[in-house]
Structures are given as structure tokens and as C-alpha cells.
Structure 1
């Protein structure tokens, strides 16, 4: 059961020194969201605590942490409470933000997965998240059995189904390997979540918010040249041309043989032409 002290949450700054092992995945996700949207963390945890109590009541008849209890938990969430993947608006920001997913009960694999992992662990299951190529999945270890849950549908996924999903994402020659089913740590999962949120902001042309996502990712990994490159494209779209040039040059210095280098050099030449009319931010 969740204790009072566990739910008296404050915002954490996500950066290179952040101890992802010390904090829960949902705490880290909500800290990201509070920085992006100004979410009231305490109010979110009140809502989350209520969900914990509902599940605790629904699962009170189960003495063992077994497959029957797992199926009941999934039924409570995906049938009785109608949590589900949002097929119609997959790439919307509201589907990537965990607090919105909790209130709307609709989302995408990684945002639903962050919540489902929290519910599973609150219910004493041994569960881990996996940044699977075709979408986030959850591994649950029950006695001698390993089960996989697709948080987008709430269905148990067989290895055959996972390989079909993999081929749909990577092509017919792709094959499922044991390494693909190894769990990821909280840091890796949070970075993937931030990248998904960033892509959603870019799609809806909220470039300043996307830039905040870049900033968070680079606070976690300051030497990620690919993220610096992506930030450069955002700076360019925001007419911060000198900043864009600096980021493009950083990437070129680190990956001079990358296929995109030719494009970046052309962008730099265009920036040199446009710099006199630069907008200062």
C-alpha cells in the first residue's frame, strides 16, 4: 500500500546527476512533465493514489502474486476502467503525457506502459519495461514463467506475436533475439519517453516545447551529438541561426562521415547568408 511519505512528492530536476535508480519511473516521468507543462505534482499523486486504492480493493481476494492476479489486474484496467491505446490520435501530445493518460485513460505504448508498470509494482509484481523496437512492452516474471504485456492493448503477447510486430517495424528479415527482450533501466525508458514527447511537440509545431525536451535530454547526456543536431534544426526553425550553426558544427566534428553531414554543411552556408537578418532570442 502506498504510504503518505511516498506520495508527498516534489519536483526533481532531471539531469546528468539524477539518480534514476533512487526514484520510481512514474516519479521521473512526472518530473519531466512538470517542467514541460507546469503540472501540479502533488495533485497528480493524489489521483494516482486513488487508482492504487481502487486496484488494491479489486485485487484484495488474491493471496498469491500469480497469473490469475495478473489477469485480474489487466481486466480491471483495460475492461472495467477502459484504459486503451488511442489509435485515432497516436502522435498527439496528450497521448504522451502520463498525467493526461491517467485522467483520459487513453495513450500510446510508452505512456500507458509507465502507468501500468507503476500499477504492477504497487500490486507486488516483478515487472520491467522494455524499449522494444515496435513499441514499449512490459515483462512480468511470475514463478518460472515470463510473460509480456502490450500496454497499448492490455494483451499478453506471445513471442510469435512479438516477432510479427518486430517484422512490421523493421522488415520481414528481422528476427527476435533474446537481447531485444532484456529489460531497460529507468534512464533509458525516460529518455525514450522524452523523445516521444519531443516528436509529438514537433508534429504540432510547438517548437519551444520541443526545444525544452532537447534541453532535458542533453542534461541527461550532454555528449549526445545526435540530440545536439536535432536541437540545431529546432534552433534553425526558431531563427536562432548562430545557435543552429554551432550545433551543426558540433555534430560534424563528432561524426564527419555521417550521411547527413552534406545537408548540414549546406544549412550552415545558408545560415551564413541569412545571419544578418537573424532574430535574437
Structure 2
């Protein structure tokens, strides 16, 4: 399976949004219809006098207001991941998405209107940063709220406490994420969403996409083994599980996989 648009993310040869439009096209033949409608809606916003009359951070505030109120985007209502809330074209269609998906769409909307938003790979879910007049403004993609420095730090503390992480806050965390980091985070979220949806064939495709970005990554190969097992392809999953066990012998899941591999390879006694 070839995904040439994913093979050079280290060099950032293509805009991130173009790569993710391509990802959507893999799963839905009507994807271009919703992408086109999104740009038509962004174009219509240019007619808004409230937006045209503002500059800098005030222009960004107005754009966020238009994005979340007029266009009607909002956070996904379900507690569990779903592919229809991760894929960009489905989020456009349904007007709801996961925070990363909303961040990417808002970033593109801002770019369309002459504003540069940088995506920050923040704990919990991403933030967007807008630099203007030697100041940095942070946007919560869930609702378009502009965050103060203290709110950003509180967001970090809440996220690491929830994840039981002891990492300390640093302003260096608010640097722009590299394209590879964004693409991997997006595809990982999509993979887990497809697994939740029990769309294992699509999850397998997504793992192949991840392996185009992260060749021979043992954790992606382990996940491929799990998906193959769900697709009743145990004879193929064996090789993936064996690779993971060899590469990551100290991982907590490796012992369980060793036992599973032993059960699969132990000859069964046939009673006559």
C-alpha cells in the first residue's frame, strides 16, 4: 500500500492540511464535496463587515466567533472516539469534531483569512498560537476561547494530573509542532477511532499510513497484529507480535503476547 504524500513529512514538502485532505479521500469518495463546501463557506465569511474591519488579535477573535457560531462547529458530543469526528471531511459535514480536528480546520480558516495560527502539541489536546505585535495569544480549539497565560498553565496541570504524569510545565512546550508530530498524532487518533467503530479494515489502512511515516515502529506493528487478529488473520498477526516481543521485551504487553504466541504455536492433541 503506497502513500507517497506521507513519506516525506520529515521535510514538510506539502502543507499539512493537503496531506490530511488526502487521508480523508482514502476513506470517502465524496470527500472533495465537503472540502469544497468548506472553502465556499470560508469565502462567504470574507463578506462579513465585522471580519473585514478588524486586524490582529481582534480579527482572530471575530473569526473564532464566526467559525463556532455562524458556521456552527463544536466539540464531538460522544465520550468515545469516532472516526466521523476525526476525519476532516466528516467533521465538516457534521459540524462536530475532536479537538485536534477542530484545531486543524480553524487553522486553515485563519490561513484563508490572512492569519497564521501555529499548532501546539499540548498535553490533553492541542492549542493554537497566534503571534502578533510581540505577543502570543492562545486559542482553545474546542470553543475558540482565547486563553491567558495562567489558563494555559492550568490546562497543562489538569492534563498531566489526569494522565498521572509528573512532568513540569515549561513555556518551551508552546513551540510550534513539526508536521510529522501533527500527522502522527492525527493518524493515531484516527486508528483508535476506527478500532472503536470496529472498522478494522480501515484501521489496518491507517496503520499502514502510520508505518509510511514511522517505518518499522514496533508499537504500530504490534497494533497491526491486533487488527489482523480481529480480522481473523492470526497466521499473519503472529509475525507482527513476534517482532514486537523481540524489539520491546520489557514492555508490559510483551509478556502477554509471549503467552499468546505460545498458545498459538503449541500443537493441539487430537483424540480419536
Q: Do these two structures clear the TM 0.5 threshold for a shared fold by scoring above it?
A: yes
- Taking the aligned partners of 2:106 and 2:82, their CA distance within structure 1 comes to 20
Instruction: Show the counterpart of 1:203.
Output: 196
- In structure 2, relative to structure 1, the CA distance for the partners of 1:274 and 1:139 (3 Å cut) is farther
SS in 1 for 2:176: coil
Give 1:103's match in structure 2, choosing from 93, 109, 114. Answer: 93
- In structure 2, relative to structure 1, the CA distance for the partners of 1:192 and 1:88 (3 Å cut) is same
TM-score by length of 1: 0.85
- Taking the aligned partners of 1:32 and 1:174, their CA distance within structure 2 comes to 33
Instruction: Show the counterpart of 1:191.
Output: 184
- Taking the aligned partners of 1:202 and 1:75, their CA distance within structure 2 comes to 34
Give 2:53's match in structure 1, choosing from 52, 61, 69. Answer: 61
- In structure 2, relative to structure 1, the CA distance for the partners of 1:262 and 1:46 (3 Å cut) is same
The answer on 1:238 being equivalent to 2:231 is yes
- Taking the aligned partners of 2:261 and 2:29, their CA distance within structure 1 comes to 35
- Taking the aligned partners of 1:134 and 1:19, their CA distance within structure 2 comes to 24
SS in 1 for 2:5: coil
CA contact (8 A) 2:107 2:116 kept: no
Gaps of at least 5 residues in structure 1 are: 1-11, 276-281
How far did 1:90 drift? Answer: 5.0
CA contact (8 A) 1:90 1:107 kept: no
Instruction: Show the counterpart of 1:84.
Output: 74
Root mean square deviation, CA, Å:
2.2
- Taking the aligned partners of 2:80 and 2:128, their CA distance within structure 1 comes to 19
Gaps of at least 5 residues in structure 2 are: none
TM-score by length of 2: 0.88
How far did 1:273 drift? Answer: 4.3
CA contact (8 A) 1:109 1:152 kept: yes
- Taking the aligned partners of 1:179 and 1:130, their CA distance within structure 2 comes to 10
How far did 1:19 drift? Answer: 7.2
After superposition, give the CA deviation of every residue in 1:88-146 in whole Å (9 maximum; x if it has no partner).
35522211111121122211101111101101111222211112111021111112110
